[in-house]
Each structure stands twice: as C-alpha cells, then as structure tokens.
Amino acid sequence: MTIDFDKVLKEQKFPQWNQTPQEVLQLANELAAKERNLFDTIASVEDPTVENVLNPFTTFFNEADFPRNQISFYQHVSTDKALRDASTQAEQILDQSSIEQWSRADVYSVLKSLKEKNPDLDPESERYLNKTVLEFERNGLALPEEKRERVKKLQVELSDLKVKFNKNLGEDTGCVLFSKTELEGVPEVIVKQYEEVEKDGETKLKVTFKYPDIIPLFQHASNGETRKTANIAFGNRCPENEALLTEIIKLRFQIAKELGYDTFADFALEVKMAKTKDTVLTFLNDLRAKLTPVAESELQVLKELKLKDLKSRNLHSEGDFYSWDFGYYNERLLEEKYQVDSLKISEYFPLQSTIKKMLGFYETIMDVKFVKLDPKPTEVWHEDVEMYAVFKNIKFGTLEYVGVIYFDLHPREGKYGHAANFGIGPGYLNFDGTRKNPETILVCNFTKPTKARPSLLKHSEVVTFFHELGHGIHNMLSQTKYAKFHGTNVERDFVEAPSQMLEYWVWSKNELKSLSSHYETGEPISDDLIDQLIKTKHVNTGLSNLRQLFFGLFDMSVHTIDSQDKIEKLDLFSTWNTLRREVTLLPDGNNPTKGYCAFGHIAGGYESGYYGYLYSLVFAADIYYSLFKSDPMNTENGIRYRDIILKRGGTREIMDNLVEVLGRKPTSEAFLAEIFGEKSHL
C-alpha cells in the first residue's frame, strides 16, 4: 500500500515562530484578559450546568495552552535577549493572572456547586471537574477569606522567584579558564572546540559550563588540580540563585501551613502516586541501605585505580578519592577493564544517522512514521531546529496524522543548558469532533558538527536522546479529550517511567548494533565492542544512584521542615554539603559548593518530587521486563503499551493503567534485578 504523506501534510497548518518581543507581551496580556473575562462570566452563573460552565471552561484552557506555552518557551531558546526577556515577563504576567483567577471564591463556588449536582458526564469530563475543584481547594479556596488572600499573595511571590531562578540558570555564562597544558588528557577534538581568550597576557582556553565543554574535561583531564578547579567552579555557578531558592523554600513552607499541612511535602505528595512523605523517605532510605555497601566496594576499586595511576606518573598519593575524581577514573575503569573508549564508540553514532535509526525503532515498536519536513524560516525559532511530522497506524492501513515534533539539539548562548522535552502544544478534542494535534519539542545540547566531522554522540548521549524522545513520543501518541490530561500530564512520580523504559533499547545488543553506523565507513559497531559496552551498564551503579539519592534526599530534607523555628534556621549550604558528603561517599576535600543554585528541578517542577526519577524506575523496569525484554521489537506489545499507557495520558489513575498493561499490580523485582545487575541476587 502506497501512503501519500505529502497529501496529508498539505492540509496541515504549522505554528509560526516569528513573534517580536512586543507581540509576546501583547499576547500575554490578551490571554490574561481572556482568562479574567472567562472567570467573570462563570462567577455570574446562578444555575451552573455543563453547557454554561464546564464547556466554556475546558474550551478556553484547551485553546490557551499552546499560545501560553509558546510565548513562555522563547526564554529557553531564543538568540534574541530582548525576546528572552519578554518571554520571561510574559510568563510572569500569565502566572500572576492565573494565581489571581484561581484564587476566586466566586468561581470556586460555581464549580463546586456544579460538581455537587453530580451531572451526567463521561469519565474524563468527570475527572476534569473533580480535579479542577480540587485545584481551587489546594489554592486555599476552602479557607476563610483572610487566609485565602495570604495564600494568593505568597503564590505570586513564589511564582516571581521561580521565574527569576530559571532565568538566571538559563542565561548563565559562567566558565573556567585553563592553559593547554592544564588540559592535558582532554582529546584534541574537544580542546579545539574551546574558545581562545587572552588573560593577563597569556592565551587561555575557555571551558564553559555547557555539557559538551565541561563533561569531557571531568572525564579526561589527567591533572587532578584542573578537575578540582573545574568541579568547584561548576558547583558554584549561579550564586545569585542562593537567596532566591532560600526564599522559595520558605514561601512553600508558609503556603503549606496556611493550607493546613504539616509540611510542604505533605501538600505536594497528596496528588502524586507516593501520596505521603513516609512512603518517599522509606523508599529512599531503603534504597540507600541497599546501595551503600555496593558503592563502597566500587569506591575501593576506584581508589586502587587512582593510586596505581598516580604512582605510574610519579605523583604523590593524595590519600583520598574526591568528587572531582569520579568522572575521570570511571572513564579509565571503562577503558582499562572493559576496553570501552567513549570517544571511539561515539564514532559509531553520528547524530543524523542515529536520529534516523532511532526513529525507525519507534516506528517498528509503536507502528508510527516520522516524516522529516523542510520548514519555512517562520516555522522554527532557529536555523538548527529540525521538524518531523508524525503518523500512526501505518501497519493497519488506517493512517492517522498525529502531530509535529521539533529537535533543537546544539548549544548556543542563552539557550537552556540541559536536555528536556517541552510539551508545547497538547492535543485535545474540539466540540465539532475534529482533533487539535500536539506539538512537542526536544531541547538538547550535543556537540555541533564541524567541516571535518559530524556531531558524534557518546553512548551516554544516545541514552539521553532516547530518554527525551520517550517524553516526546508520550506527548505525540497521547489522545485525550482535554489538554489538561494530555501526554506527560500524569502524576509527577510516574512521568519519567515511559522514557526510562525506552532507555533499555540502547543497552540491548541487537538494537544497539542496528542503531550504529561509523561516521566514515558506515560500518556497524563490532560485536566485541558492543559486548564490552553492555557489560558496563552496571559499573559503579551504586555510586551513580547514590548521587541521585542525594538529590532526592536534599529535596525532601528542605521540604519536610515542619516548624517556623526550623524554617527560619534554613541553611541550604550546610544541608547540601553535609548530605552530599554522607550520601555520595565522595569527599570534597573541604571545598563545599553551592550546587543547589543550579538545581533547576527543585526550583520548579520537581519540588518534593525529585525522588520520582528513582521511584518511576520501578514501573519502567516492570513494563520492560514484562512486555519487551524477550523481544524488544515486538510491535504487538508496543501497540498495547502505546494505547494503554501513552494514549491515555492522565485521563485515568496511572496505577489502573499499569495493572491493565501488566495483568497485575507492579512489583519491584525487575527494578532490583536491573539496578543492581548481577549483584541483585546476593
């Protein structure tokens, strides 16, 4: 069967990305005014019905999501500082408007009255109404007026601080300067990408804090002092965020207390899968107890490797193994014991070839098709951006256009510095039965291609790409009635599971081989190299996961403060450094840092939720082991997973979906077997 994708695409109208700073601010004010008008209208309703309250309410929030997200997104990717600033200001305008409107007792009263009438609704609409009323109540609407006003005031302050924190982080231009000699061991291909600058009459190389610059230094610089200097500088970036984060955490405490909760964690976890702080802390502490002995054994191996290395170079033993040593000696361990050279392996994963093959995996597993587009200049925000249309149900001949996904993959000044998926335009069902298709964006920071060679992905970057694409696919393949439940709009401590599950494909031999293609010869990676690489999956799993545990425990520590006296004594510096030393097992040589100043997750999105990265691994492992481990490219199971987990988004309780797709309640058996590798049965 021949499918005419072009014919379908000609019918599509793609978003425009050519707004000026003035237009961004104008649109923000227009959206705020429309929201205010909607709430005024609903507040005036005396006899609430689905037709005069719920339908206009859902329609507005369906239609407002894309423009709202688009104008807020420019701050993360635009090369124009004026546009980034306008985007930040627009987000503040929209946030303050939402806080104002979602604090209105008159609107809450109407929606609550409608809920109490128990109207005849389909399950998703009933869930929408219930969640909306709950959202008002979590904003304090069930409280006396005086308390409501205090909560609203605190939320406005909190919103402004979060925006400022993320703006500082996104626009960070920090760097550290080294001579070429100090960068001994860093591969020449990496050194060449560092900018030369003059400092005190000497030529230095500028190592920015962007991942393609700083990570290779940690992995390859043989000079311990260089790694130490870079580690301390990297750990102290964005110092202006310290006061902001301190105030953010104090405001959260006050909001939680006003709402009647013991701690902010109690408030935040109420709507997550874990439900209580005791569940989270028990999970983290049990995992820490299991991981610590494993990590101690791993650390001993690394200490011996460091001792041997320093002795071979006639350098004095330092007597300890520091936090800035891990990346370097982990890399040496992979090279010496497993013959795995990350740069050599990267030659088999040129970016464009890998993208094509990667998308092919998703096409097979989930019966979808990606068609690369040639966007007009106004249809992307930067010339580097790639754009793909997505279709599904190819195999069954019922072709369905799904939406569009964008890839923005290389670092530049002012751009978001990590890897993330932005679900910019959720899909939803229009009242006429037509569907608004979603738009989603992958923002990453992979090395730019040069004239001499293409962008090459280290295996860890292939894992990262697969992970973020997992979020993108979740947003693409979701089909919900309302934008509110679309795609990744699920419980926060499950949201990572679909992406984590898909990471397994890049540790599977046959799949890894078919994904590879040497950038010069086109040859796939050798069986020997794949076998050695796969053996490294659980190398230093104890130490790596203790680092994740540290982030989760720090997050819970500052958000489980339960008294005014304790919150007034909040000391992020002490809490961060004490926990880091105790949990990670890696000393800092009395060089404490302020890494929390760059902990973007805790500033907004994963507060009292960072544990979710580990918690969701339980579900990811169970799904993979149950549906895919024996046959990773099984289309039948892929479609089953697609239509039960991804398609439904947040329209049902996630646990119900898990029980349906697994045929039972999830267990931690696969997770424990996976996270500890061969050590799991000890």
Output the DSSP codes for 81-141. HHHHHHHHHHHHHHHHHHHHHTT-HHHHHHHHHHHHT-----HHHHHHHHHHHHHHHHTTT
How far apart (Å, rounded) are the C-alpha atoms in residues 532 and 339? Answer: 7
Tell me whether residue 100 is one of the annotated catalytic residues. Answer: no
**568 burial type by CB count under 10 A (0-12 exposed, 13-18 middle, 19+ buried):** exposed
Could you tell me if 518 and 637 are in contact, meaning their C-beta atoms sit under 8 angstroms apart?
Answer: no
Please tell me the distance from the alpha carbon of residue 678 to that of residue 544, in angstroms, as a whole number.
16
Residue 374, burial from CB neighbour count under 10 angstroms (0-12, 13-18, 19+): exposed
Q: Where are the alpha helices (DSSP H) in 182-322?
A: 188-191, 211-220, 224-235, 241-258, 264-269, 277-312
Cα within 13 Å of Cα(219), Cβ side: 17
Q: How far apart are CA 466 and CA 483, in angstroms?
A: 25
Using CA atoms of 604, 605, 610, 612 in order, give the dihedral in degrees to the nearest 10.
Answer: 180
Quick one: tokens of 610?
């960072």
Roughly what angle, to the nearest 10 degrees, separates helices 612-627 and 654-662? Answer: 20
Q: Rounded to an integer, what distance in angstroms lies between the CA atom of residue 96 and that of residue 90?
A: 10
CA gap 162, 241 in Å, rounded: 10
- DSSP-derived letter for residue 273 is S
| For helices 211-220 and 326-336, angle between their N-to-C axes, nearest 10 degrees | 70
- What are residue 435's DSSP bridge partners? 429
Which 8-state DSSP code applies to residue 570? -
> For residue 659, what are the contacts with CB-CB under 8 A and spacing of at least 6?
665, 666
- CA 606 – CA 613 distance, rounded (Å): 10
Residues with Cβ within 8 Å of 182's Cβ and at least 6 positions away in sequence, in order, are 221, 223, 225, 226
Residue type, 155: Q
The answer to whether the CB of 559 falls within 8 A of the CB of 249 is: yes
CB 490 within 8 A of CB 654: yes
Distances, alpha carbon 43 to alpha carbons 48, 104, 420, 573, 594, in Å: 10, 9, 38, 46, 47
Do residues 5 and 389 touch, judged by C-beta distance below 8 A?
yes
CA angle 326, 329, 330 (to 5 degrees): 75
Catalytic residue among 468, 491, 511, 607: 468
Cα gap 51→95, rounded to integer Å = 27
Cβ-contact 396, 433 below 8 angstroms: no
Catalytic residues: 468
